[in-house]
Amino acid sequence: MVLARRASRLALLLLLLGILPAAPSSAGPRLTHEYDLKAAFLFHFAQFVQWPPEALPEKNTPLTIGILGEDPFGKSLDEIVANESVGGHKLLVRRFQRLNQADSCHILFISSSEKGRMDEVLSRVNRRSILTVGETKDFAQRSGIIGFVVAEKRLRLAVNLAAANVARLRISSKLLRQSEIVGPLRLQE
Amino acid sequence: MDLHRNTRSGSAPQGGPGPVRHGAPGLVLAFLLLAHVPASAQTEQAVEPAKALKQLSLEELFDLEVTSVSQKPEPVSKTAAAVHVVTSDDIRRTGALSIPEALRYVPGVEVARVDSRSYAITARGFNGTTANKLLVLIDGRSVYTPLYSGVFWDAQDAFMEDIEQIEVIRGPGATVWGANAVNGVINVISKSAANTQGFLVTGGAGNMERGFAGARYGGALGPRAFFRVYAKAFDRGPSKLPNGQDAGDASRMHQGGLRADWTPTTADGVTVQGDFYGSGIDRRSAGPTDISGGNGLARWTRAFSGHSSLQLQGYYDRTKREIPSTLNEALDTYDLTLNHHLAPAARHDVVWGLGFRLTDDDVRNSSALLAFLPPRLTQRLYTGFVQDEIALEADRLYLTMGSKVEHNSYTGFEYQPSLRLAWMPKPEQTLWAAASRAVRAPSRIDRDFFVPAQPPYFLVGDSTFQSEVLYAYELGYKSRPLTDLTASISTFYNVYDKLRSLEAGPPFFLANGLNGRTYGVEAEGIYQVSRMWRLSAGYTFLRLILDVEPPSTDVGGQSQEDDSPRHQAYGRSSLTLPHNLSLDAAVRYVGELPNQRVPSYAALDARVAWQPAKTGEIAVVGQGLLDSRHPEFGKPAARREVGRSIYGKATLWF
């Protein structure tokens, strides 16, 4: 009886020390919160997209990630971007309510709260070198550049290459390889 | 008029009383009870902190599971048509090994297995082994045969793992899709080569599926060019005669192909693909039916902006069918299409296109039984279409109008207009209505068909046979009343004119002597009960009324009224269990076909799969589990029945 209790205590101790593998966490997939993951992707986009030189004229021009409309990220985007820079350009997060404030950013996340005027927003920014990112239905099909799509519990990217081309942005093949190409350059119809 | 096999061989005595059905309600109940376990078992896992995420590679990020899907309900589809999409996940989870089997759980579609390899497939009525009101495209290539305006399903195969989705549009799609899109369009779309990188090897065996194997390899030709090659083969067992005897229609098939996708610039996309295949289907009476063929397709897309693009596509397809002592057919198809998408003004989204198709059909009449005269026929089809989607009110009200004009070698000019309206009173609701006209142009069976091959004839085609005409009126509603529930209902009222009749003889002859009406309701719902459990259900009601138009003396065509089931229903459960297990079960009911004396039946399909590692999966699939066998199509004298099928399958990818 005593022995059994000791054995179970030992097992508990080993478990706490991480020596004995805890079955559930090793069996299942790694989990994340949806908006933490989306924030991490916004950070990665800064690395995998090349802007034309005139969009980042000076070495000390910050690379700005803008959020238009309601911010779904909470603190996570600020946490991820804090003290980071890409190619010498410091990363900066800004939040906008009005569209004309957003003209100077490099990545623009257009919140679902702007759904009602998505076409208007996109037609205004789509000739600037702004990587538009959204999560509303058919965002990339409707000439946004990168759409977040949650399918099978995983985050997938829909990329409108034609829209990226108009914005003079080059998206790394490393990112494209894992994305679905949509819009007029969708590879099959 | 069964061109799939020699009808003379099908005179088997009818069996005793109908097949015995072993009910399995206990099994269904067990699935339902099991489903309650996992929903709560998954909530304890640790979640990656936001800051740690930026250290991960892209590959690792793509592999993370998100704990909660966006709370905001996505708007439902605003398409003003009855559309159902079979996803690659649906194909995998139903265990479908062929395209027809993947269409079993689509509302409004009739899938009847005729024998080991043939299917009768249609939407909204008029089913048959030579069903002629459905357009089927595989990656933009029409698989239509001008012999009877239908599809030889035994010649169509694909590497199932590489199918991205199958879009099924019920109702006329003739404005954009053209000839033959009368009652529906089935569009099989394969994945881009960029999305099928690496090795995938699959294989398995069972009682009906005696053995099957396939392999695919995808690689990169450069940073913007990808390719894949694949090969597959199967050996399928025979169906049964009604008396339980082996019907002698075992078969083998092999197929291979490649696809390359290249984006030379950010504005251009080029796809080149091709397949070849060969198959032998045994027959009891004579040598096996031999099917072979191949195709090559090239497509170039150029984008001018987010709203404007141009697409040019060309393909060549050759298919051969040799049915010893019945007929030998070789068909060559050359097809060229140009599509232009543009937004000429605010609120307007226009698509227009031009197309040319040349078919060269050569039927060597190798028997005294039947003949197509002239044996060889070259036909040219010219098409042009324009369609404008007008946003009367953005995100609220859309009007789509357009027409196709085509010129075919038999009847000359045909026009196929449509008018569609979609209204979204709320983002999660779409109410739509449509009115369209579509035609089914004559096929060789209508015009050039003679039985027997020499006079005196018993049956002759009609050298003046006209196009069958459909006026279709549709009304539908799609809704997402709850975040996890989507539902849709589609109704239609179709008015047909100049349908094919069989006029009294001798000789019997074909004519446009029937008119008719069909109406029906198709409903479906998908409910995501929990992250682990998804339920879906569908119901189809269909009624056909055909009338003989004087002076017709129809003696056969009108019986098509009873070639389609009046009621069809299905329910599906897809369950993801702990320990990388998944469990799928589906029940379907198909009403009787009075004209064929095929009784109604219910079938249970189930699949259990285990994914022990991220690179492999083992599955056991059972199809038609409720009875040892049942008929799905065909009059008793020529009928085949397909038995319960159980197979195991292993898949590895790396």
Question: Which pLDDT score is estimated for B568?
Answer: 97
**Secondary-structure class of domain A32-185 per CATH:** alpha beta
A85 at B interface, C-beta within 8 A: no
Give the C-alpha separation, B258 to B256, whole Å.
Answer: 7
Which helix (DSSP H) or strand (DSSP E) does residue B407 occupy?
strand B397-408
Residues of chain B contacting A142 with CB distance shorter than 8 Å: 306
Q: Are the CB atoms for B109 and B131 separated by under 8 Å? A: no
Please report which confidence band the pLDDT of residue A19 belongs to, taking 50, 70 and 90 as the band edges: very low
pTM greater than 0.80: no
The answer to whether the CB atoms of B44 and A178 lie below 8 A apart is no
Tokens read off for A173: 């093949």
Across the interface, which of A27, A34, A188 has its CB nearest the CB of B140? A188
Of B47, B51, B139, the CB nearest to A188: B139
Which of A 154-183 lie inside 8 A of B, CB atoms? Answer: 154-156, 160-166, 170, 173-178, 180-181, 183
Name the closest residue on chain B to residue A40, using Cα atoms. Answer: B54
How far apart, in whole angstroms, are the C-alpha atoms of residue B123 and residue B165?
A: 18
Q: Which of B57-66, B69-78, B462-471 has the highest mean pLDDT?
A: B462-471
- B20 in contact with A, Cβ within 8 Å: no
Q: Which long-range contacts (CB under 8 A, 24 or more apart) does A79-88 make?
A: A79/B50, A79/B51, A80/A39, A80/A40, A80/A42, A80/A43, A80/B50, A80/B51, A80/B53, A80/B54, A81/A43, A84/A43, A84/B54, A86/A46, A86/A47, A87/A56, A88/A59, A88/A60
Query: pLDDT at residue A154 above 70?
Result: yes
Q: Which of B74, B189, B395 sits opposite A116 (nearest CB)?
A: B395
pLDDT of A16 reads 37
Tell how far CA A65 is from the center of its chain: 10
d(CA A45, CA A41): 6
Under 8 Å between Cβ of B594 and B562: yes
What is the structure's pLDDT at B178? 63
**Helix (H/G/I), strand (E/B), else coil: B10:** helix
pLDDT given for residue B306 in this prediction? 59
A1-5, B253-257, B326-330, B393-397, range with the lowest pLDDT: A1-5
* Bond before B288 cis per omega within 30 degrees: no
- In this structure, are strands A31-32 and B65-66 parallel, antiparallel, or unpaired? parallel
Q: DSSP letter string over B494-510?
A: EEEEEEEEEE-SSSEEE
| Chain B touched by A186 (CB under 8 Å) | yes
**Range picked from A178-182, B179-183, B649-653 for highest mean pLDDT:** B649-653
Which of B37, B43, B58, B74 should be substituted to probe chain A, the one whose Cβ sees the most A Cβ atoms within 10 Å?
A: B58
Asked if A132 contacts A102 with a C-beta cutoff of 8 angstroms, the reply is no
Preceding omega of B507 cis (within 30 degrees of 0)? yes
Residues B32, B35, B37: CA angle, nearest 5 degrees: 135
d(CA B518, CA A41): 52
pLDDT-based confidence at B65, cuts 50/70/90? Answer: low
Is residue A189 less than 8 Å (CB to CB) from chain B? yes
Alpha carbon of residue B528 to chain centroid: 25
B268 Cβ under 8 Å from any chain A Cβ: yes
Q: What is the DSSP letter of A22?
A: P
The answer to whether residue A92 neighbours chain B at the CB level (below 8 Å) is: no
Please tell me which residue, A95 or B42, carries the higher pLDDT value: A95
Average pLDDT over residues B31-36: 31
Q: Which residues of A touch B50 (CB under 8 A)?
A: 33, 36, 39-40, 75-76, 79-80
Torsion over CA: B178, B183, B185, B186 (sign): negative
* Interface predicted TM-score of the whole assembly (ipTM), two decimals: 0.73
Asked if B140 and B313 touch (Cβ cutoff 8 Å), the reply is yes
| B346 in contact with A, Cβ within 8 Å | no
B321 to chain A nearest CA, in Å?
Answer: 29
Question: Would you call A155 and B306 a contact, using CB atoms and an 8 Å cutoff?
Answer: no
Show residues of chain B in contact with A33, CB under 8 Å. 47, 50, 66-68
pLDDT confidence band for B143 (50 / 70 / 90): very high
Of A112, A175, A189, the CB nearest to B311: A189
- Residue B28: pLDDT band by 50, 70, 90 thresholds? very low
Which range has the top average pLDDT, A4-8, A26-30, B209-213, B346-350?
Answer: B209-213
Question: Using the beta-carbon criterion (under 8 Å), do A175 and B68 form an inter-chain contact?
Answer: no
Of A24, A39, A126, the CB nearest to B45: A24
- Report chain B residues whose CB lies below 8 A from the CB of A166: 305-306
How close B125 comes to chain A (CA, Å)? 28
Confidence at B48, pLDDT banded by 50, 70, 90: low
Distance from CA of B180 to the nearest CA of A (A): 19
Q: How confident is the model at residue A5 (pLDDT cuts 50, 70, 90)?
A: low
Residues 100-119 of B with CB under 8 A from A: none
| C-beta atoms of A40 and B301 within 8 A | no
> Which one of A25, A36, A179 makes the best mutation probe of the B interface by having the most chain B beta carbons within 10 Å?
A36
What pLDDT score was predicted for residue B327? 84
Average pLDDT, chain B: 86
pLDDT at B47: 61
pLDDT for residue B545: 94
Range name among A15-19, A77-81, B38-42, B173-177 with the lowest pLDDT average? B38-42
Contact A28 B42 (CB under 8 A): yes
Rounded to an integer, what distance in angstroms lies between the CA atom of residue B113 and that of residue B345?
49
**B75 has a pLDDT exceeding 90:** no
Model confidence pLDDT, tens digit, residues B83-133: 888 988 899 999 999 999 999 999 999 999 999 999 999 999 999 888 899
Contact A94, A106 (CB under 8 A): no
Contact A162 B197 (CB under 8 A): no
> Which of B305, B313, B340 would you mutate first to test chain A, the one with the most A CBs within 10 A?
B305
Domain B7-13+81-653 matching CATH 3.40.50.11540: the answer reads no
pLDDT of residue A103: 79
* A80 has a chain B CB within 8 A of its CB: yes
Of A33, A163, A170, which is closest to B47 when you measure between CB atoms?
A33
Would an 8 Å CB–CB cutoff place B71 in contact with chain A? no
A70 at B interface, C-beta within 8 A: no
The residue ranges of every structural domain in chain B are: 7-13+81-653
Q: Is B637 on the interface with A (CB under 8 A)?
A: no
Most B-contacting residue of A83, A141, A154, A189 (CB-CB within 10 A), to test interface: A189
Q: Where exactly does CATH 3.40.50 map onto chain A?
A: 32-185
What is the per-residue pLDDT across B544-601, written as a single tens digit (0 to 9) for each?
999 999 888 888 778 888 899 999 999 999 998 888 899 999 999 999 999 889 999 9
Mean pLDDT on B176-201: 86
Enumerate the residues of chain B whose CB falls inside 8 A of the CB of residue A153.
65-66, 69, 531
Q: Which residue has the higher pLDDT, A97 or B653?
A: B653
Contact A137 B74 (CB under 8 A): yes
B630 Cβ neighbours under 8 A, 6+ residues apart: B18, B19, B599, B601, B603, B624, B641, B642
| Chains A & B: contacts with CB separation below 8 Å | 188
Alpha carbon of B198: minimum distance to chain A alpha carbons (Å): 12
CA A23 to chain B, closest CA, distance in angstroms equals: 10
pLDDT at B46: 52
SS3 label, residue B44: coil
Decide if pLDDT at B445 tops 50. yes
B242-298 confidence digits (pLDDT tens): 988 999 999 999 999 999 998 887 678 899 999 999 999 998 878 899 999 999 999
Calpha distance B231→B253 (Å, rounded):
11
Q: Do A187 and B192 touch (CB under 8 A)?
A: yes
pLDDT of residue B11: 34
Per CB-CB distance under 8 Å, the chain A contacts of B51 are: 79-80
